[in-house]
């Protein structure tokens, strides 16, 4: 659930501003409002943090097999030294790149010494080199002076022009004599490559500074947070106002804090017009929090006045994940990976990351789906004759015959048809949940818009008939022997639903105004119905992406399995290994592209969610934080007066 927030305004004397911010940092409960204010301290903190991050990232590529004791430097000295190494290395690499380009341009001309041209000129012989395209070679007949052909090919030719006086031929492309010979350039390049090697070795000696730099980055991050908070505190003469938000259940704690520290506060309900600035704090039971890593990965947070859809998101995401990955063997890999994270964290006596449980649950769901569909590395032969054949639900894999109520065969559905039908049913249920949710919200507010949501529910069911008929060629009238009744009902559902949406979908205060607004929005409502039709069809991706993964796996099986006997065994193993790893990655990408899309676009769009929120992040730093660079301890230390200690990653 999304926790209710309260707005807090604090007033202190300006001389006590920094000490009050320190006390707020110790409290760690108030999310300070960001008015986008800046200051010289903020700019300096940003610049210092960027430099430290650049140094930390730069050293990542110079890890050595053997640990090298780092130079004894302070964090600031470490940053400057590493950035100097980076600058030297980049500068030298740019010199090499420039030389390589020049060498490539000169390669076809061969090696020569530019000093020879100067020597000839000193003796009264002026030599210039030109090139000419093949279709313009006849122009050379008009050239005065001695001409020596140097190179000729299909494109044209190059020639040397020798005269007693300096002459420039306007109709030809002159080759500009470089200041160095080709051999000199190559020699210079080799020297630069040696220099790059020396600089790289020097960088390797500094690799051990990374823990120090990481701690320094964390320290600067805290410093930046502090100075941003300082800049956003509003000074007016001798008083300073500090504004923020806190969870409703922390109000008493903050009131006690303010009383103990002589801080004047006012705690009020946030202004409804300021919802964009109110942070979002989502609190869910531990078992439901396993969806949070997905939200963090996507970088999405519901707005303060939006809905917490964690339960629905988790339930359907598990199903979408299992159907798109589709293979039980792949599920085992994910399941074991999740358990590995869990047990590793336990063995190190660390808090178990939520991602460990997330992968465990997703992997288990995939194993279950792959088991009931009989997919183990997309190879039915692999489980033939084993106990893994028993849990298979054969209508999902082999399909079934659909008979009319009169006992006549209407349609033979194969396994793919059944999965596609199942996907459309999921789509109908998923989108209807969103509309029912909207209906209940409007009903709780006693709004006539609830009737408009009923209209959208009717439209969903009416469109479902059309989707089956047009996409799957599965006509419910014929299948159920209804004689056109179902098609008539479906069309009526769409038209009645459209009427309800127009009449009630825009109702707010006055019925007449709402009706006029609905009529004005009628064209967009009709387009919305077309979009709703596409939304239901969109769920076919659960079937299509899962099928694509299965077919790719089968293709690699057909290539690799025949090679598993005799001398080609190793090639067969490599093909199967590379193929299934490649397919596994594609399946995971399919989940990210398609499975998550159905939640963040189709479903969230029906709910009217824009994921416009920003996460509740209480101010929890102070000026006197210092960081330890001890790689084994990895703890952030603060001065004894602060009483704070946090883990750093």
34-65 pLDDT tens trace: 888 888 999 999 999 999 999 999 999 998 87
User: Which H or E element spans position 152?
Assistant: strand 146-152
- How does pLDDT run across 60-107, given as a tens digit for each residue? 999 887 777 888 888 999 999 999 999 999 999 999 999 998 888 787
Q: Where are the domains of the chain?
A: 5-70+209-277, 75-104+187-205, 112-180
Confidence band for 624, pLDDT divided at 50, 70 and 90 = low
**pTM of the complete model beyond 0.85:** no
The average pLDDT across 286-310 equals 91
CA 28/CA 23 separation, integer angstroms: 9
Among 122-131, 208-217, 272-281, which stretch is predicted with the lowest mean pLDDT? 122-131
Q: Is the pLDDT of residue 634 over 80?
A: no
The answer to whether the beta carbons of residues 504 and 525 sit under 8 Å apart is no
Q: Is the pLDDT of residue 617 over 90?
A: yes
The average pLDDT across 519-525 equals 89
- How much is the mean pLDDT over the chain? 88
Q: Is the pLDDT of residue 141 over 80?
A: no
Helical H segments across 445-484, by residue range: 449-471, 476-480
Which 3 state secondary structure label does DSSP give 131? strand
The average pLDDT across 308-323 equals 94
Q: How many CB atoms neighbour CB 28 within 10 A?
A: 12
Burial classification of residue 445, based on how many CB atoms lie within 10 Å of its CB (0-12 exposed, 13-18 middle, 19 or more buried): exposed
> What share of the chain has pLDDT > 70, as a percent?
96
Q: Is the pLDDT of residue 419 over 50?
A: yes
Instruction: Please state the φ and ψ torsions of residue 12, each to the nearest 5 degrees.
Output: -135, 165
CA 524/CA 354 separation, integer angstroms: 42
């Amino acid at each position: 659930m999304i926790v209710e927030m309260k707005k807090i305004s604090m007033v202190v004397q300006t001389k006590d501003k920094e000490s009050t911010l320190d006390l707020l940092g110790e409290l760690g409960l108030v999310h300070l409002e960001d008015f986008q204010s800046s200051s010289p301290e903020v700019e300096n903190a940003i610049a210092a943090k960027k430099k430290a991050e650049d140094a930390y990232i730069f050293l990542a590529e110079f890890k050595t097999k053997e640990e090298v004791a780092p130079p004894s430097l302070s964090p600031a000295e470490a940053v400057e030294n590493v950035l100097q190494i980076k600058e030297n290395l980049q500068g030298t690499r740019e010199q090499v790149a420039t030389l390589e380009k020049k060498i490539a341009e000169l390669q076809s001309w061969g090696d020569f010494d530019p000093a020879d041209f100067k020597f000839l000129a000193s003796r009264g012989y002026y030599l210039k080199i030109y090139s000419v395209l093949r279709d313009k070679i006849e122009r050379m007949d008009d050239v005065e002076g001695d001409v020596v052909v140097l190179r000729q090919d299909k494109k044209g030719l190059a020639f040397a022009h020798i005269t007693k006086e300096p002459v420039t031929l306007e109709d030809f492309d002159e080759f500009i004599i470089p200041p160095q010979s080709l051999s000199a350039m190559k020699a210079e390049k080799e020297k630069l490559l040696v220099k790059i090697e020396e600089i790289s070795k020097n960088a390797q000696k500094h690799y051990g500074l990374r823990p120090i730099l990481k701690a320094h980055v964390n320290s600067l991050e805290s410093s930046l947070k502090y100075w941003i908070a300082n800049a956003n505190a509003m000074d007016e003469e001798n008083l300073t106002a500090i504004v923020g938000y806190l969870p409703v259940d922390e109000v008493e704690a903050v009131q006690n804090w303010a009383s103990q520290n002589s801080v004047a506060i006012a705690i009020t309900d946030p202004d409804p017009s300021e919802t964009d600035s109110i942070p979002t704090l989502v609190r869910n039971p531990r078992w439901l929090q396993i969806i949070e890593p997905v939200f963090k990965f996507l970088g999405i947070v519901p707005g303060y006045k939006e809905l917490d859809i964690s339960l629905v998101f988790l339930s359907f995401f598990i199903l979408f994940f299992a159907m798109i990955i589709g293979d039980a063997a792949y599920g085992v890999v994910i399941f074991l990976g999740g358990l590995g994270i869990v047990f590793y964290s336990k063995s190190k006596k660390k808090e178990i990351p939520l991602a460990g449980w997330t992968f465990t649950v997703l992997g288990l769901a995939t194993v279950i789906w792959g088991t009931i569909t009989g997919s183990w590395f997309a190879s039915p032969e692999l489980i033939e004759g084993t106990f893994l054949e028993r849990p298979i639900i054969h209508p999902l894999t082999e399909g079934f015959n659909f008979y009319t109520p009169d006992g006549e065969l209407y349609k033979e559905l194969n396994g793919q048809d059944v999965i596609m039908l199942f996907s459309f049913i999921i789509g109908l249920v998923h989108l209807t949940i969103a509309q029912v949710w909207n209906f209940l919200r409007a009903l709780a507010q006693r709004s006539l818009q609830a009737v408009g949501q009923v209209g959208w529910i009717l439209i969903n069911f009416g469109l479902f008939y059309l989707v089956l008929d047009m996409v799957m060629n599965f006509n419910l009238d014929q299948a159920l022997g209804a004689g056109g009744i179902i098609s008539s009902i479906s069309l009526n559902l769409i038209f009645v639903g459209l009427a309800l949406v127009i009449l009630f979908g825009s109702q707010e205060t006055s019925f007449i105004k709402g009706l006029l607004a609905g009529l004005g929005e009628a064209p967009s409502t009709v387009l919305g119905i077309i979009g709703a039709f596409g939304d239901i069809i969109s769920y076919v991706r659960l079937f299509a992406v899962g099928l694509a993964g299965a077919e790719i796996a089968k293709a690699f099986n057909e290539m690799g399995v025949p090679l598993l006997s005799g001398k080609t065994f190793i090639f067969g193993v490599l093909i199967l290994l590379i193929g299934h790893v490649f397919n596994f990655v594609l399946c995971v990408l399919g989940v990210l592209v398609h499975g998550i899309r159905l939640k963040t676009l189709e479903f969230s769009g029906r709910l009217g969610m824009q994921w416009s929120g920003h996460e509740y992040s209480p101010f929890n730093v102070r000026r006197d934080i210092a960081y330890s660079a001890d790689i084994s301890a990895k703890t952030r230390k603060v001065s004894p007066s602060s009483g704070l200690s946090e883990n750093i990653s």
